[in-house]
Amino acid sequence: MNNDYLELHCHTNYSFQEGASTVSELLNRAKEIGYKGLGLTDHDNLCAAMEFSELGKMSGLKAIIGAEVSLQGGSHITLLASTKKGYSNLCKLISLEYFRGEKQKPELDKTQLYQYSDGLLLLTGCSKSELAKTFLGNQFDTTTKILKEYLDVFGRKNVFIELQNHFVKGDMPRNKKLMELAFKFNLLPVATNNVHYHLPERRKIQDVLIAASNNASLNNTHIQRKPNDHYYLKNVAQMNELFSEYPLAVSNSLKVAELCEFDLTEKLDYNLPSYSVPKGYSTISYLKEICLEAAYRKYGEFNSKIKARLEEELNLIERNKLEGFFLLYRDVIEMAHEIMIEIGLSDPEISLEERSPGRGRGSSVSMLVGYLIGISHIDPIKYDLSLERFITDDMSNCLPDIDIDFPREIREQLIKRIHQKWGPEHAVLTGMIVTYKMKSAIRDVAQAFGISSNKISGNSRSIANAKKTDADVFNIAKQICGYPKYLAQHPGGMILSSSPITNYVPIQPSAIEGRFICQWDKYSIDNAGFAKIDLLSLGTLSQMHETLDLIEKREGHYIDLSRVDVEDKYV
């Protein structure tokens, strides 16, 4: 099969409520029609970047990472990462979009675009591009000025004239003018198809998603929706036919792809935040000192069993270079303890070990080090807990998973305090992709059809017996079930990093003031090898703390639940 083309402008369903095919569907179709690779250019996000890269490698396809970025004024531009530096700059640019614009309407100032241009390839964009808008206004001087700016900033070898033809009014004259520019400035034209689904039959789903994103019906979104079903992955023969006047524009896609050397599946040079220890200490000796002091407070002695277990754990921690990781957790726990004191749940003279603000869960409670630095309230010596489920000799490809439950009032302030201490560039909450469930899918699809979801007949779940409209609603709802709907905040996962997180993934303000989230979910973060601290909220802990506080005020002494005999049948 002739494979002298690959698509460089492709949207997955992570172009929320617009893309109508999954990452795997697009990659599978790309391989089926003979592509050597595929370019990811979701609107203003890199939510799918890690999944796309991992699956692309598994499929034997080159995964090219990019984005269709929104500029101030509403125009679009296509950016592709050619190098690691370019990928990092793309992450920064997308972050700046959300800090400048709004959650639903991100936008980038061109001065910011020009500030972070290194390592990026610029394709001039779709029918909503700056150049296309100047054509519509016959502003040819402005057209030339814009293109010269691109060339001055990005460099001639990194700017490409993007041609698209979807049999829409204006496509042919726009391409003719674009080709005149390509000839005038000696630039390579590149054909793309602005793909939004892998097969033409998905057009109906895309129409429904766009209607849903506009909170309107299909009848009221003609302007917002695509005019036809030509926005799918086309093979080289179809693209050659579309661009028969400009055949090099099709094969030039391979030249652009060759310039994209960045591979997201390779190591991203991520590191945990460096930890400053007091003079005279190394990170491991300081961690050991903290543990020794806590051990005497906890046990009143330092016997051979405690000593052997602590040495074993410290050796494992040092071997896996995790001493800074545990010291960071200690910092987080100390912050929580300070908050606990501030809100009246503890006193300054009471040690952290005696009245811990949180409760560890899962395999992390098997660590004596965790018990001594306040992560866990379970004594692993007493219960003879094994280390193997939590930490092993070689953890070079992963980090220990530690979940800590906090009372709601502590956790809320703790997240803000972590942001304040490290800043959103170094401490950010994990993203969470909210997906369509059947109920929300039926509601949005029904609205697109102009009917209320509660008016769909009860037997619509049995398609054979349903009215045609109900069956259509149900069929489309089933197909979009599991589709990404929007990016939200993970319940408690937080990433800490020594270098700016925007080197690796875009960040944006959360819907909750004072919080910041990244555009990757926990699965992408795990694949990237990031350290995620899980700070979870447990209402029961709030009630327990309140109860224990009331008992202390009434009886004059505090009950330490971690020291209650679990064998006592009267407790």
Asked if residue 455 belongs to a domain, the reply is no
User: 75-95 pLDDT, tens per residue?
Assistant: 999 999 999 999 999 999 999
Kindly report each contact of residues 294-302 with a partner whose C-beta sits within 8 Å and lies 24 or more positions away, as own/partner: 294/353, 294/372, 294/373, 295/372, 297/351, 297/353, 297/354, 298/353, 298/371, 298/372, 298/379
Over 70: is that where the pLDDT of 427 sits? yes
* Domain match, 28 and 161 both: yes
CA distance 250 to 234: 11
Q: Is 389 left (phi over 0), alpha (psi -120 to 50) or beta?
A: alpha
* Domain match, 177 and 292 both: no
Q: Please give the pLDDT value at position 181.
A: 95
Mean pLDDT computed over 395-408? 76
Q: Please give the pLDDT value at position 461.
A: 47
Per the DSSP assignment, residues forming a β-bridge with 359 are: 405
Asked if residue 368 belongs to a domain, the reply is yes
Higher pLDDT, 267 or 478: 478
For residue 112, the enclosing domain spans 23-198+233-259
Work out the mean pLDDT of the chain and round it to a whole number.
Answer: 89
User: 277-309 pLDDT, tens per residue?
Assistant: 899 999 999 999 999 999 988 888 888 999 999
Higher pLDDT, 323 or 364: 323
Under a CB-based contact definition with an 8 Å cutoff, are residues 428 and 494 in contact?
A: yes
For 384, phi and psi rounded to 5 degrees?
Answer: 50, 55
Over 60: is that where the pLDDT of 466 sits? no
Asked if residue 438 belongs to a domain, the reply is no
* Domain match, 115 and 237 both: yes
Q: Please give the pLDDT value at position 542.
A: 66
Q: Please give the pLDDT value at position 349.
A: 79
* Domain match, 185 and 327 both: no
Asked if residue 432 belongs to a domain, the reply is no
* Domain match, 76 and 121 both: yes
Point out the least confidently predicted range of 391-400, 469-478, 488-497.
391-400
Q: Please give the pLDDT value at position 563.
A: 63
* Domain match, 292 and 238 both: no
Over 60: is that where the pLDDT of 571 sits? no
* Domain match, 147 and 294 both: no
Over 70: is that where the pLDDT of 316 sits? yes
Mean pLDDT computed over 415-424? 89
Asked if residue 514 belongs to a domain, the reply is no
Tokens of 462: 């049995």
* Domain match, 173 and 85 both: yes
Q: Please give the pLDDT value at position 463.
A: 47
Q: Which helix (H) or strand (E) holds 40?
A: strand 37-40
Q: Please give the pLDDT value at position 459.
A: 45
User: 512-542 pLDDT, tens per residue?
Assistant: 888 899 999 999 998 998 888 888 776 676 6
* Domain match, 251 and 310 both: no
- CATH number of the domain where residue 61 is located: 3.20.20.140
Asked if residue 550 belongs to a domain, the reply is yes
Asked if residue 494 belongs to a domain, the reply is no
* Domain match, 43 and 145 both: yes
* Domain match, 34 and 171 both: yes
The fraction of the chain above a pLDDT of 70, given in percent, is 93
Q: Please give the pLDDT value at position 524.
A: 95
| Among the listed residues 228, 225, 229, 226, the one whose alpha carbon sits nearest the alpha carbon of residue 199 | 229
Mean pLDDT computed over 61-75? 96
DSSP string, 53-117: HHHHHHHT-EEEEEEEEEBTTS-EEEEEE-SHHHHHHHHHHHHHHHHHS-SSS--B-HHHHHHT-
* Domain match, 245 and 97 both: yes
Q: Please give the pLDDT value at position 464.
A: 47
Under a CB-based contact definition with an 8 Å cutoff, are residues 65 and 46 in contact?
A: yes
CA distance 64 to 52: 9
Counted domains in the chain:
2
Query: How crowded is residue 460: how many other Cβ atoms within 10 Å of its Cβ?
Result: 20
Mean pLDDT computed over 420-449? 93
Asked if residue 500 belongs to a domain, the reply is no
Under a CB-based contact definition with an 8 Å cutoff, are residues 48 and 35 in contact?
A: no
pTM over 0.85: yes
| Among the listed residues 308, 324, 315, the one whose alpha carbon sits nearest the alpha carbon of residue 393 | 315
- Angle in degrees, CA 170, 173, 175, rounded to 5: 100
Mean pLDDT computed over 354-381? 84
